[in-house]
Amino acid sequence: MSVHAAGGLAVGLDLGTSGMKAVAIDDTGAVVARAYATYPTSRPEPFAAEQHTSDWICARDVVLDGLARATDARRWRGIALSAMLPTLVELDDSLGVIQPAVTWQDGRADNDAKHLVAAVGAHVLARRTGQRVDGHYLLPMHMRRRARDVAEVSMLVGAKDLLFHTLTGEVLTDPSTATGYGAFNPQTGDWDDTVLAAAGVDRHRVPTIAPSLTMRSLREDLARRWGCPKLTPVVLGAADSVLGAAGLGVGGSGTGVSRSVAYIAGTSTVILADAPDASADPEGRYLVTPLAEGGWGREMDLMATGSAFTWWAQLLAAGDGPSDLLEIAGDADLLRTPVFAPYVSPGEQGALWDPALTGILTGLSLRTTRAQLAGALAAGIVVESLRCLEVLASASDDPHTPVAVTGRSASSSVFLQALADASGRSVHINPGEHDHSALGAALLVWSHLGRPVRATHSPASSQFTPRAGRREAWLARLAEHDRLHDAARAG
């Protein structure tokens, strides 16, 4: 069967922080099947976050086996990829994996990042890369590992780069994934040799950078396993933040692109808006992100929001995750809760960008209720989201641009209404779809085939409109966060 035959399906595969998601969509953009598999994160010492790539491959097989059972795999027209960023995988001379992988949650390479920044110069590095490089980027992670381990590393790759290699046999990276290394120059679209040299990494030890729509054929043994056509295209894809925005219809030049800010609430929260060009922010408040089908984004990442919800819910015996906690928080006025600065990862990569920040909770009394404690964390995340949206507005984003939301850690009507009130923007969500990064990846298949479509969203989409008089109260809450930061630094 020809991969260009009518009635086909496009598959999107998203390697996330806690699990692998896969969706199959038809040529109208509607999801016809989906699958999910989890894998663990190991934390062998303080600030560590490691995963075994063998768990990723097992999860890949589970979800694609599931899609093959749920659909006729002979109809698959291609598979496109998305993955968490940045996550370090080191390969040996035979391109075998040197275990374990170091995920973006790992915080052990901050000192190595400081050495890299000092060697290049903070302003020079930010101007060359459009990034604020810290210990969560691949080069500092590798510098830390190199100083401690004796294994000979032939190549550094990201999580999606490895996934592409396992499916096609070739190692490539795309521009958005390359930003997570800390040495991608958006002005040239290539590696920055000055930054690589400062990290002690030769150019041949990083993958070739190729456009997101680059295709290689699926390995024959895997095509036989899933029963899909021989030479099924595997599309290189992009970072999960970029494709999450694309799945929401935000950013780039694809069909049906909307004028919105993407708010992607997973283990962390990504806030991404269109940018007119690749110019770095002189104040270093946001990151420059290449979009999958052309153009640029301004991105800010709030660390550990979803995992903070899960941690707080378990501490309060309020269930296992964000939805349980936010259901309890619905009984509280979020503006009348204790003040919670939610940097429990620790550190922050939003508008503040400070790896030394830790969580602060103040305003407790014997009358504080469990609902107020639950609401305090939600309010803290709303405040830091407001801070990011204010930065985007000041950087030329229209302050009235709507916010398109996805993710289970922001699906509560209480949270969404608070976000609308605080930002002064309308907030939209499709409560029936959470797999927007996998969905955005699947859309790339149709773009690769020259038949771009937009996602088909449920008519159950909800909109939250700002209420009069609330924004001022949220701005006052933001000022209270600032006072807490200043007091913590002074102390």
Distance CA 85, CA 9 (A): 27
Kindly report which listed range (62-66, 94-98, 231-235, 431-435) carries the lowest average pLDDT score: 431-435
Query: Could you give the 3-state DSSP secondary structure of residue 347?
Result: coil
Q: Which are the contacts of 364, defined by CB distance < 8 A and separation ≥ 6? A: 338
What's residue 331's pLDDT? 85
pLDDT reading at 424 higher than 50:
yes
Tell me the angle at which helices 370-394 and 322-329 cross, rounded to the nearest 10 degrees.
100
H helical segments located in 278-425: 305-315, 322-329, 370-394, 413-423
Flag whether 106 is in a domain.
yes
What's residue 255's pLDDT? 42
Flag whether 37 is in a domain.
yes
Q: What is the mean pLDDT of residues 305-324?
A: 88
Kindly report which listed range (160-174, 290-304, 423-437, 449-463) carries the lowest average pLDDT score: 449-463
Its domain, for residue 212, covers 9-240
What's the pLDDT band for 1 if we cut at 50, 70, 90? very low
Flag whether 418 is in a domain.
no
Flag whether 373 is in a domain.
no
Query: pLDDT per residue over 381-399, tens digit each?
Result: 999 999 999 999 888 767 8
Q: What is the largest CA-CA distance in the chain?
A: 70
Unique residue bearing structure tokens 């909770």? 361
Kindly report which listed range (230-234, 263-267, 469-473) carries the lowest average pLDDT score: 263-267
Q: What is the mean pLDDT of residues 177-198?
A: 97
Flag whether 274 is in a domain.
no
Kindly report which listed range (48-57, 128-137, 319-328, 393-402) carries the lowest average pLDDT score: 393-402
Flag whether 259 is in a domain.
no
Instruction: CATH number of the domain at 201, please.
Output: 3.30.420.40
CB 113 within 8 Å of CB 65: no
Distance CA 262, CA 455 (A): 15
pLDDT reading at 253 higher than 50:
no
pLDDT reading at 2 higher than 60:
no
Q: Which are the contacts of 17, defined by CB distance < 8 A and separation ≥ 6? A: 41, 84, 103, 104, 105, 266, 267, 268
What's the pLDDT band for 252 if we cut at 50, 70, 90? low
Flag whether 375 is in a domain.
no
Q: What is the mean pLDDT of residues 421-435?
A: 90
Flag whether 349 is in a domain.
no
Query: pLDDT per residue over 192-201, tens digit each?
Result: 999 999 999 9
**Counted domains in the chain:** 1
pLDDT reading at 361 higher than 50:
yes
Note every long-range contact of 116-122, with CB atoms under 8 Å and residues 24 or more positions apart, other chains counting.
116/140, 116/143, 116/182, 116/195, 116/198, 116/199, 119/198, 120/194, 120/195, 120/198
Distance CA 112, CA 261 (A): 33
What percent of the chain stands above pLDDT 70?
95
